[in-house]
Amino acid sequence: MTNAIPLEAVLMVAAALFCIGLFGALARRNMVSVLMGVELMLNAVNINLVAFWRYLEPGFVVGQTFAIFIITVAAAEAAVGLAMIIAIYRTWLTSNVDNVASMKG
Amino acid sequence: MNTLIQLIFGLLAALIVGSAVMVVSVRNVIHAALWLIACFFGVGALYLLLEAEFIAVAQVLVYVGAISILILFAIMLTRESEGARYMVSGWRLVVTAIVCVALFGAVLVPTIFTHTWNVPPPPVATPGSPAPPEVLAGVEDLGRGFVFSYMLQFQVAGVLLTVALIGAIVIAFEERARRRRVLTLAEEHEVRKRQKPARPPVTGERIPSPQAAPMSDGEQG
């Protein structure tokens, strides 16, 4: 498998996914859409870690362990983030990030 | 065999990148969430192709099973009827696009292609005997690592999940006295229609104040 696909190809897919996720997180106005962009970025990082594990250190479990922990942290982040979005929607009746600007100087 | 693997990889890469582009570009948020599920599935299949079976299963369980459903429920609970301004516009859109394209084209791609990755050479077949199988850390090694080497980290991850769970409940909890019925889209249209003559719609302004929402009678208690 490692001689069929070069490592650079996998890293390119992850880089493209990261940049698309960054665009989504910066350009979308809906809070849930912003969170979806962040999830895409976390997935890109995970692809990178698994690819490094597979190509560079296939005999050790460290790479996979990192990926598992990132999945855990992403799940926690999504739960807290969505709870905050729902709380903000209750208070401000909006889910648009531009409308939640009370801390703007 | 190699051609087949390359073909599968190409299809998966197209699925991942294509559905990610749809996630950030499609107007309807629900459609974006469904494209996100497709993207998660593609990433899980890529893990399978990279021979990380446990992470592929965890990806499908956690991302496709839990996070997507959570996102869909959050969309349902925070649905807004304004769909026209779903993305930033003007110079902000231009700057955002420039930042992302520059990060990809000027930082990531040159780094990936100029860095020398010390990829160990694959085991070669000596004449007379087939190539020795590559040593690959499997699920068994992963479980052993979690129980022995990474015990502390494992416990910390458990504490983190507990804290996140409690935090999510505390943040999203609403006292019964303050509970208000969530407006359906049709009711929100009505509220908006009633408010429209009162004041001209200004872009960027906050939508109706909580007092404008009709309070429900039967919902409380």
Q: Which of B59, B66, B206 sits opposite A94 (nearest CB)?
A: B206
Query: Which residues on chain A are in Cβ contact (under 8 Å) with B118?
Result: 56
Indicate whether A33 belongs to any domain.
yes
Q: Which pLDDT band holds residue B217 (cuts at 50, 70, 90)?
A: very low
pLDDT-wise least confident of B140-144, B146-150, B201-205: B201-205
Alpha-carbon distance of B140 to B137, in angstroms, equals 8
pLDDT-wise least confident of A20-24, A82-86, B52-56, B74-78: B74-78
ipTM for this prediction: 0.93
Indicate whether A101 belongs to any domain.
no
Q: Which of A10, A26, A62 to mutate to test the interface with B (most CBs of B within 10 A)?
A: A26
Q: Which pLDDT band holds residue B129 (cuts at 50, 70, 90)?
A: confident
Name, in order, each residue with C-beta under 8 angstroms of A101's C-beta and a sequence gap of 6 or more.
Answer: none
Query: Which residues on chain B are in Cβ contact (under 8 Å) with A37?
Result: 23-24
Query: Which residues on chain B are in Cβ contact (under 8 Å) with A84?
Result: 171
Q: Is A103 on the interface with B (CB under 8 A)?
A: no
> Token pair 């979005």 is at which residue?
A85
The reported pLDDT for the residue numbered B82 is 56
Q: Concatenated DSSP letters for A17-83?
A: HHHHHHHHHHHB-BHHHHHHHHHHHHHHHHHHHHHHHHHH-TT-SHHHHHHHHHHHHHHHHHHHHHH
pLDDT tens sequence across A60-74: 888 899 999 999 999
Q: Which of B33, B59, B207 sits opposite A93 (nearest CB)?
A: B207
Indicate whether A83 belongs to any domain.
yes
Indicate whether A102 belongs to any domain.
no
The whole-number average pLDDT for the span A79-86 is: 92
Q: Which of B52, B96, B108 sits opposite A26 (nearest CB)?
A: B96
The reported pLDDT for the residue numbered B72 is 93
Indicate whether A36 belongs to any domain.
yes
% of chain B beyond a pLDDT of 70: 82
Interface of A with B in 26-55 (CB under 8 A): 26-33, 35-37, 39-40, 43, 46-47, 50-51, 53-55
Query: Which residues on chain B are in Cβ contact (under 8 Å) with A69?
Result: 153, 157
The reported pLDDT for the residue numbered B180 is 65
CATH number, position A67: 1.10.287.3510
Q: Are A15 and B112 in contact (CB under 8 A)?
A: yes
**Domain span including residue A53:** 7-96
Number of domain units in chain A: 1
The reported pLDDT for the residue numbered B170 is 92
Q: Comparing B89 with B7, which gets the higher pLDDT?
A: B7
